[in-house]
A and B are shown apart, each in its own frame.
Chain A
Amino acid sequence: MKKIFKTVMVFSLVLLASCDDYIEVEPIGPNADNYFNNEQEYESALIGAYDMLQSSFWNVLVGVVASDDYAAGGDSFNFDQPTIQNVNQMIHTPSDNNQLRDIWNLMYAGLNRANYLLEFKDKTEFNGKEQIIAQAYFLRAYFTFELTKHFGNIPLKVETRGGVSRIADQRTIIGEQYDINRVGSISAVYSLIEEDLKEAIPNLLAEQSEVYRVTKGAAQALLGKVYLYHGTFDATKFADAATTFSEVIGSAQYSLKTGDDYKNLFESSAENGDESVFEIQYTGVEPAGWSCIICSEGSYFPKFCGPRSPYDNSEFVTGWGFCLPSQELYDLFDANDARRDVTFYDLRDQQDSYSQGRDDTGLFNKKYIPRKSDDRAGSDPLNFANNYRSIRYADVLLMAAEAHVQSGGANAEDYLNQVRFRAYGDNSHDYSSAEGDLLEAIYSERRKELAGEGHRFFDLVRTNKAAAAIPGFTANKNEVFPIPLIELELANAVDRWKQNPGY
C-alpha cells in the first residue's frame, strides 16, 4: 500500500515536471523584437513599409471627389459609400468612419512600418545600409505628408536629434496613444517632413536598378512639394521650393512624353517612364478578396471609376461609376488639347450602354479606369494594375513654375510653356501677359494637367481658393478633414487633441 502510494507520488511528480516543458511551443518565424540581424532583414522590413503605399488608393479617391471637378457618383439606389458622398458634398462629419478613417489608419500604419525599421537602424552594420535608411525616411515623409494634407497638424511622437526637432525613430507602442500630442501647427509638421527628406536625399541614388525604389529625384520632388505647401504658411519656403525643383529639373533625368506616348501615359505599358518621378506600383497578379482589399497588390481606385455594369467594351471593364468628371471641367479643354482624350472617357452619346448611377454625366475618369489589358488574378476584379503616378514631371514643372512666381524666380513661364507645348504640340498656346496673371494661369494649367489625379482639392486649399470653387466648402473648416471621432475617443484625446476646427 505504502509502496504503491510512493509510486503514485513519484509518477505524479515526474508528470508534473514534464508537463511544464510539454506546453512550450515555439512560434515559427522571427519575433518582432529579435529581427534586423542582417541586410536581408532590413530589406524585408523596408518592403513592408513600401507595401503601405499601395493602400493610399483611398487618398486618391477622396481627393478626387472632394474637388469641384468630380462628382461622387455610385449606385443611385442607395447611399453608396456614404463617406465618399458626404465628402463630395462637403458635409462630412467626424462620424464618417469609412474612407476617412481608412486614410488615417493606413497612413499611420505606413508611418509605423517605416519607424519599425528606423527604430532598429543602428542594430546591425553592413555596406549600403544608408540607402535603406534613406528610403525609409522618404516613406515616412510620404505617409506623414498624406496625413497632414488630410488632417492638419496631426499627433506625432517627436524627438530632438542633432538639435533639430524630428519625428521619433520609434514605433508607437500600446499605451503611447494616450500621451502623444498634436504637433503645434501644420507648418511644424511640414518642417518635420522636410527634415526627413533632407536626411534621405544625399543617400538616395539618382537611378535605381529596381524601378520601385525611391530615387533622389523623387525625394527632391516631394521635398519641393512640401515646401510649396509649407509656403502657404511661411512664404520664405517658396524659394526653397524653387531651389529644390531646380535640382530635379536640372538633373535632366525626366522629360514630358509627347504624341502617342502621351496618349498612352496612363496605360500599364507606360508605367515608370521618363515622365514618372514617383510612382506607386500595383499589380493584379495576386487575387483580391472583399475581406481584405488592402491585402492585394492591386489598386481598388480604378474599379470605382469605371462605368457601371452592364457595360460591354473591348477596352474597359465595368466599374462602379464613381469619380465622375463634370461637364464644366470638360469644357475647359480645347478640342486640340491632347489632354482631353487622356482625361475623359466620353460616353455622353452612349448613356444607355451602361447603368447610369448617381450624378451621371456620361464622362468618366480615363486616367484611372479599369482596363481590360490589365490581367488580374481571381474572380473579384478589385486588384487593378494601374500604377498611381504620384509625382509626374509635368506636376514638377508646374509646381516649379508656381514656386518661381512666388519667390521671384525667372523660369515660371518657361516651365508653364513646356507643359502647354506637350498638350497642344506647338507653341501657339505659350503664355502671354494678355491672359492675365501668370500665377492664375499656372493654377488653371494644374487643374487641367492633373485632373482626376487627386491633387486639385489640396491645390485649392493651399491657394485659398477652395471656398470660392467648391460648393458647400466652409472656410476655416473644410481645409482639412475631421479626425474620425472614434479615433479621438480611442486615444482618450477628445480634449487633448480636440477636433479639427469647425467640426
Chain B
Amino acid sequence: MKKMFYTALMTLAFAFTATAQNTTVSGTVKSSADGLPLIGVNIIVKNTSSGAVSDFDGNFTINNVQPNATLVFTYIGFETLELAASANMNVSLNEDNESLDEIVVIGYGTQKKKEVTGAVTVLGSKAIEKLNPVRVEQALQGQVAGVNVTSGSGSPGAGSNIRIRGVSTNGDSAPLILVDGIRVGDLSAINPSDIKSINVLKDATAGIYGVQAANGVILITTKTGRKNAELKFQFDSYTGVQQTSNKLDLLNPTDFAIYVNDAADDPLNPEFFVYPQTGTDWQDEVFRTAIISNVNLSASGGTEKSAYSFGVSYLDQDGIVGSGKSNFNRLTARLNYQYNILDNLKLTATALHTVSEKNNLPEGGIGAVLYNAVNINPNLATTDADGNYSLVEDIRQIEIKNPLAQIQNSYNTSRVAKISASFGIDYTFLNNFTVSSKLQMNHANVRDDSFIPEVDYGTSNTTGNEVVDHGADYDDYIWDNYITYENSFNEKHNLTVLLGTSFSHEEGKFYGYQGTTSIATNNPNQSVWDMEVINPRFQPNQIAVGNNVFEKRLSSIFTRVQYNYEGKYLLSAVMRRDGSSAFGPNNKYGYFPSGSIGWNVSEEDFLNDSSWLNNLKLRASYGVIGNDKIRLFGFTSLLTGEATYDPGNATGIPDLLNGVAIGLIGNPNIQWEEQISKNIGFDTSLFNNKLSISADIYSKITEDLLIAPDGSGLLGAAAPGSALPIVNAGSVENKGVEFSINYNDQLSDDFKFNIGFNFTTLQNEVLSVDVGGNGIVNGGQFGVGTGITTSRMQAGMPMGYFYGYQTNGLYQTQAEIDVLNANAPEGVYHASAAPGDLKFVDTNGNGYIDPEDKTNLGDPLADITMGFNIGFTYKNIDFSANAFASIGNDMIRDYERTDLYANRGTYMLDRWQGTGTSNTVPRAVAGASVNTGFFSDFYVEDASFLRLQNVQIGYSLNSKVLSSLGLDKFRIYVSGNNLYTFTEYLGYDPSASNGAPIGSGIDKGFYPVASSYLLGINLNF
C-alpha cells in the first residue's frame, strides 16, 4: 500500500519534471538524532502537488521548482519541517516523540500509540538526551507521570528505588524491568545513551507479564541500526564537576560551646571557660568538588539484509564525599545485530558487557562518614600538631570518629562484571503468521572486597586487621516462544492474536572468605589468605542446607487478542497462566486475566473534520496481576536454622559443633500477591497536535500481601536463623489521578518551543492486616540502640506511617507539670519531664503518658508529585529545563546523636532557655530527657520539595558548516543537574529514601545527591 503510494508520487514527480522549466532542487534528508539518512521521506513543494520521496541514501531531487518555493518534509515518527527551497539542501528532521504513529512496546509485540488502550508512557531517546542522566532512572523522574524515583544515597553508582503508582506491597515494590527482553535488577549496568526508548506499563496493560506485573513493568529498548544505511558514528562525551547539593546548618564553634555549657548546666565548673572563635567546619572538610566524565562511541549502519549497531562507553565518577574513595566507573560494550536470512526469516542478536567498580565509604547511618561529619565536635582541629588526623578522645562523643581519618582508612570495593546476550528468530509465514523465539541470558559476577585496618580513632578504635573477600555469581535466562497472527478483514476489522510461552530461570551462588589478624600490618593490598584466622563465608553446615545458593523458575503461557474496528473501537484481552517454583504446593499456578477497551472518538464522522481536535481517545482497563517476590521454599520447613555450639575444648582450636535446627517455618499455602488494577483515562491532541493532554484515574488494590508477621514466642521462631511462616494476610490500596499536558509550537522558522507539566496524586491505604495479635507490623528504628520502632503497617493507615508521640509545645514552668501530675492516676503525668521539655499529648486521655498515647505522625509517601519541562530551540541554540516536585512526604530527622559533645543544628539556637523563650525547640540537656528518649513529632518534618533537576543549553552547527566539515551533527552543551532544591526540610536530601515499605523516610544522614555542572559534546559523522 505504502509502496504503491510512493511509486505514484515518484511517477507524479517525474511527470512534473517532464513538463516544467523551473530550477532543480536536490539534497539529503537525515535524522537529527543520529545523522542517519532517512529513506522514503515525503517532500512536497508547498501549495503544489509536486514533490519527491527520498531514496536509500536520503537523497532527493525535485525538478521544476519555482523560485521562493517552500518545501514540506513529512516522515512518520518525525516532526514536519518546512524549509525554503534551495539548490543543495542538507535537511535534518527531528524525531517526534508525541507522534501518534509512534510505536509502543507492550510486551511480546508492539502497537501503534493510537491503538494503545492502557496507561503506557513512552520516553524516547531525545528526551533522555535532554536530561543527560548518569543513570537511567534519573530520566524517569518528573518525565513520566506516576513514576517516583528515590535513592538511598547520592553516592556514585548507588541504586535507586523506582515506584510506579505508589507502594503496592509491604514486600518488594520494584517494577519488572526488561532491557531488550532481558530481566535487569540493577540499572547501573546500562549506559543511558544506548537507549532508544523506555516504555512504562502502569496499569493492567502490564498483565501480559502476569504474576510479575503488579509493581508495573518498564520495557527498555536499546538502539538498533537501520537497514540500507551507511556506517555512521556517534560520539558523545561530557565532563564536569559535582558538588554537594546541600550542607546542613550546624552550630559554629562558639555557639556550640555556649550550647554545651548550657546543656552541662554546671555554671561553677563549665565545660568551656572561654568560648572558642574558630574551629573546623567538618562538612567543608568532608565535601569535595568531584570530577565526572563520560565518553560514548557508537556506530551503526546496515546493508540490504542486515542492520547493526555497536558501541562502547566509559563513565568515571568521583564522589562528593571522599572523591576517589567513593569512585564509580563503568565500562560498557554492546552489539545489536539484525539479519534477514530470507524476506520472512529474521535473526536478531544483542550482547552487552559491563564492568563496573564502586568504592564504598560507610554511609547512611550510625558510623557513616557524613553522620560523623555532622555530629563531630566543631572545636576539634582536623589534624594534631604532628599532622596526623586528630583523635576524638572526649568520652562524651562516643562512637564518633574523625570523618577524614575514616575516609583515609576505608578500603571497600565492589566490582560487577556482567554479560547479557540475546538471540531471537522471527519467521513469518502465510502472510499473517509470525512465529518468534527469543532467548535472553545474563551472567553476572559480583565481588566485594574490603579491608579494615587497625586504627586509633580515639574512642572508637578498631583492633587487628580484617579482610573480607566475598563473591557471587548470578545466572538467569528467559526463553520466550510465541506466535502472532495479524489480519484485517474487509479493511475494517483488524485482529491480532498472540499465543506464547515463557520459561524463566534464575540462580545464584555466594562464596568467599573473611579473615582477621591480630598483627596490624595495615597493608590494604594483603589478601584474605594473609590473615591468621580465616573463615569461609558459609560453613559446611550452611552449604549443606543450601544457604549459599538460590534457584527460581517461572513457567508461563499467555495469550492476547487485540481487535479494532476501523481504528475506532479498540479491544484488548490478555490471559496469562504462571507457575513458579516459589509458590506453595497448594497454589502452584495462577491465572491472570486483564482487558482494556478504547474509543478513538476523533475518528468518528462527527469529529473527523474538526479543525481543532486532532485526536481524542477514551480508554479503560481492568486486570488481575500478581507480585511473585516470595521467599524461596517458603512453603516448606527446612533445617536452615543456626545450630552451632562451642564444644568447649581447651585446645584453643576453633572447632565448632554444627548441628541442625528448623529455619523458616513453612506455609504450604503460600502464594503470590494479587492486584486488581483499574484505570480510566483519555489522550487528546489539539490545535494541529500542538497541545496534547493525557489523564488517568487509577486504583490498585493488592490483596494477599505476603507478611512475615510477628508471632507468639511459643512457636520458637525467635531462634537464630528461624522465622515465622510468611502468610498471605493483608491488602493495600493505591489510588489517584495522573495528568500530563504538553504544548509545542513553532513561532518562526528559527524558534520552536515546548512546555510540559504533569502531576500524579497518590493515596495509599492499608485495607487489612490479618496477622493475629494487634494486627500491626512494625518497622524502622529510631536513634541508637533504643529499640524504638518508628513505622507501622496497620489497617486504615498509609503503608509505613510514622507512629509516635504527639507534642504540643514545651513545658514552660514546673507549675504546669505539677498540675498535670496532680491529675494523673499515680501522680506522674510523664516521668522525668522538666520545664523546657516537649509536652507530650495524652491522646487516650487516661491522665498520663503511656505507650498507648502514640499516634499517627505522618507518612513518608508523597501526596502529589509533579514534573515540569520546558525547552526551546532558537536558530542553533537549544535549551531545556525540568523540575520535579514532591509534596506531602514526611521525613524523620534521625541523624543527630544525643551525646553532649555531638554537634547540633542551628535550630538549637532557638532552644528553650527559660520560661517563654521558646515553645518549639526543647532545652539543652546533657543527660537523658524525654526529648531524646522517645520518638515524637519533634523529629518529623515535612520533606516536600521542588528540585530543579536539569538545565541544558546547547549549540549546534548548521548543516552547511557541517557538510563542509564532513560531519552530520556537531553540538556542544553545558548542563547542570540538581541545581537547586527548594525545601523546608533540615536534613541533606528530602528526596532520599531507603525504599523500605515499612521504615522508609528515616534520615540517618542520607548522602545528598550531587549538583553537577557538565560540558559536553555530541558529534555524528
Distance A271 CA – B783 CA, assembled complex (angstroms): 38
Q: Could you mark each residue 371-393 of chain A with 1 if its beta carbon is under 8 Å from any beta carbon of chain B, else 0?
A: 00001011101000001000000
B819 near A: Cβ within 8 Å? no
A45 touches B659 (CB 8 A): yes
A20 near B: Cβ within 8 Å? yes
Query: What residue of chain B has the Cβ atom nearest to residue A106's Cβ?
Result: B718
Query: What residue of chain B has the Cβ atom nearest to residue A25's Cβ?
Result: B581
A308 near B: Cβ within 8 Å? yes
A37 near B: Cβ within 8 Å? no
User: Across the interface, which residues of B come within 8 angstroms of A377, CB to CB?
Assistant: 516, 533, 535
A355 near B: Cβ within 8 Å? yes
User: Across the interface, which residues of B come within 8 angstroms of A342, CB to CB?
Assistant: none
Most buried by B among A16, A29, A45: A29
A112 touches B716 (CB 8 A): yes
Query: What residue of chain A has the Cβ atom nearest to residue B774's Cβ?
Result: A489
A105 touches B483 (CB 8 A): no
B519 near A: Cβ within 8 Å? no
B772 touches A51 (CB 8 A): no
Name the interface residues of A282-326: CB closer than 8 Å to any CB of B.
282-283, 285-287, 292, 294-295, 297, 308-310
B714 near A: Cβ within 8 Å? yes
A116 near B: Cβ within 8 Å? yes
User: Across the interface, which residues of A come within 8 angstroms of B772, CB to CB?
Assistant: 178, 490, 492
Distance A260 CA – B960 CA, assembled complex (angstroms): 98
A331 near B: Cβ within 8 Å? no
B643 touches A31 (CB 8 A): no
User: Across the interface, which residues of B come within 8 angstroms of A281, CB to CB?
Assistant: 645-648
A309 touches B718 (CB 8 A): no
**Contact for A212 among B638, B646, B721, CB less than 8 A:** B646
Distance A27 CA – B546 CA, assembled complex (angstroms): 7
B710 near A: Cβ within 8 Å? yes
A78 near B: Cβ within 8 Å? yes
A211 near B: Cβ within 8 Å? yes
**Contact for B557 among A19, A279, A295, A486, CB less than 8 A:** A19
User: Across the interface, which residues of A come within 8 angstroms of B662, CB to CB?
Assistant: 32, 113, 116
Chain B interface SS verdict (over half): loop
A355 touches B395 (CB 8 A): yes
A77 touches B661 (CB 8 A): no
Given contacts A8-B483, A76-B928, contact A282 B580 (CB under 8 A): no
Given contacts A51-B642, A177-B711, A309-B460, contact A28 B549 (CB under 8 A): yes
- The stretch that binds A, out of B13-21, B649-657, B798-806, B961-969, is B649-657
Interface size class of A (residues with CB under 8 A): 35 or more
**Contact for B720 among A279, A282, A292, A308, CB less than 8 A:** A292
A97 near B: Cβ within 8 Å? yes
- The stretch that binds B, out of A168-176, A415-423, A428-436, is A168-176
Name the interface residues of A389-409: CB closer than 8 Å to any CB of B.
none
B654 touches A285 (CB 8 A): yes
B586 near A: Cβ within 8 Å? no
A138 near B: Cβ within 8 Å? no
B716 touches A172 (CB 8 A): yes
B639 touches A15 (CB 8 A): no
A272 touches B650 (CB 8 A): yes
Given contacts A112-B719, A379-B462, contact A32 B638 (CB under 8 A): yes
A153 near B: Cβ within 8 Å? no
B596 near A: Cβ within 8 Å? no
Name the interface residues of B784-840: CB closer than 8 Å to any CB of A.
784-787
B656 touches A30 (CB 8 A): no
User: Across the interface, which residues of A come within 8 angstroms of B499, CB to CB?
Assistant: 8, 12
User: Across the interface, which residues of B come within 8 angstroms of A180, CB to CB?
Assistant: 714
Question: B630 → chain A, closest Cβ, in Å?
Answer: 13
Query: What residue of chain B has the Cβ atom nearest to residue A28's Cβ?
Result: B546
User: Across the interface, which residues of A come within 8 angstroms of B580, CB to CB?
Assistant: 23
Name the interface residues of A231-273: CB closer than 8 Å to any CB of B.
269, 271-272
A109 near B: Cβ within 8 Å? yes
Distance A52 CA – B783 CA, assembled complex (angstroms): 29
Query: What residue of chain A has the Cβ atom nearest to residue B771's Cβ?
Result: A490
**Contact for A24 among B581, B661, B713, CB less than 8 A:** B581
A472 near B: Cβ within 8 Å? no
Distance A76 CA – B927 CA, assembled complex (angstroms): 6
A486 touches B710 (CB 8 A): yes
Name the interface residues of A56-100: CB closer than 8 Å to any CB of B.
75-83, 95, 97-98
A33 near B: Cβ within 8 Å? yes
B555 near A: Cβ within 8 Å? yes
Question: A256 → chain B, closest Cβ, in Å?
Answer: 20
Given contacts A23-B581, A271-B648, A295-B642, contact A46 B659 (CB under 8 A): yes
User: Across the interface, which residues of B come within 8 angstroms of A30, CB to CB?
Assistant: 545, 638-639, 660
**Contact for A78 among B459, B710, B928, CB less than 8 A:** B928
Distance A111 CA – B713 CA, assembled complex (angstroms): 11
A212 touches B546 (CB 8 A): no
Distance A451 CA – B712 CA, assembled complex (angstroms): 34
Given contacts A377-B533, A489-B773, contact A105 B646 (CB under 8 A): no
B433 near A: Cβ within 8 Å? yes
Query: What residue of chain A has the Cβ atom nearest to residue B724's Cβ?
Result: A174
Given contacts A28-B549, A286-B535, contact A47 B715 (CB under 8 A): no
Question: A193 → chain B, closest Cβ, in Å?
Answer: 17
Most buried by B among A48, A82, A106, A271: A48
**Contact for A177 among B581, B714, B722, CB less than 8 A:** B714
A344 near B: Cβ within 8 Å? no
Q: Could you mark each residue 3-21 of chain B with 1 if its beta carbon is under 8 Å from any beta carbon of chain A, else 0?
A: 0000000000000000000
Distance A354 CA – B581 CA, assembled complex (angstroms): 56
Distance A180 CA – B715 CA, assembled complex (angstroms): 11
A54 touches B712 (CB 8 A): no
B725 near A: Cβ within 8 Å? yes
A44 near B: Cβ within 8 Å? yes
Question: B510 → chain A, closest Cβ, in Å?
Answer: 13
**Contact for B466 among A41, A272, A295, A378, CB less than 8 A:** A378
Given contacts A25-B581, A106-B718, A211-B649, contact A81 B711 (CB under 8 A): no
Distance A4 CA – B428 CA, assembled complex (angstroms): 13
A176 touches B714 (CB 8 A): yes
Question: A304 → chain B, closest Cβ, in Å?
Answer: 12
Question: A494 → chain B, closest Cβ, in Å?
Answer: 10
B109 near A: Cβ within 8 Å? no
Distance A392 CA – B556 CA, assembled complex (angstroms): 64
B639 touches A31 (CB 8 A): yes
A101 near B: Cβ within 8 Å? yes
User: Across the interface, which residues of B come within 8 angstroms of A101, CB to CB?
Assistant: 713
User: Across the interface, which residues of B come within 8 angstroms of A110, CB to CB?
Assistant: 719
A111 touches B581 (CB 8 A): no
Query: What residue of chain A has the Cβ atom nearest to residue B784's Cβ?
Result: A78
B492 near A: Cβ within 8 Å? no
Distance A112 CA – B716 CA, assembled complex (angstroms): 6
Given contacts A23-B580, A25-B553, A285-B533, contact A48 B516 (CB under 8 A): no
Name the interface residues of B485-519: CB closer than 8 Å to any CB of A.
499, 501, 503, 514, 516, 518
Q: Could you mark each residue 416-459 of chain B with 1 if its beta carbon is under 8 Å from any beta carbon of chain A, else 0?
A: 00000000000001100100000000000000000010000011
B926 near A: Cβ within 8 Å? yes
A487 near B: Cβ within 8 Å? yes
Question: A166 → chain B, closest Cβ, in Å?
Answer: 17
Please, could you name 5 A-B residue pairs with CB atoms under 8 Å apart, sorted by A? A77-B900, A112-B719, A177-B711, A177-B715, A292-B642
Q: Which 9 A-B pairs have the closest CB atoms?
A: A47-B659, A112-B716, A28-B546, A105-B718, A48-B661, A29-B545, A355-B395, A19-B555, A285-B654
The residues of A with any CB-CB pair to B shorter than 8 Å are 1, 4, 8, 12, 15-16, 19-20, 22-25, 27-33, 35, 41, 43-55, 75-83, 95, 97-98, 101-102, 104-106, 108-113, 116, 155, 171-174, 176-178, 180, 210-212, 269, 271-272, 279, 281-283, 285-287, 292, 294-295, 297, 308-310, 354-356, 358, 375, 377-379, 381, 387, 486-487, 489-492
A31-B639, A309-B460 known, 14 other contacts, Cβ within 8 Å: A12-B499, A22-B579, A25-B551, A31-B636, A32-B638, A45-B643, A78-B932, A109-B718, A111-B716, A113-B661, A212-B648, A379-B462, A379-B466, A489-B773
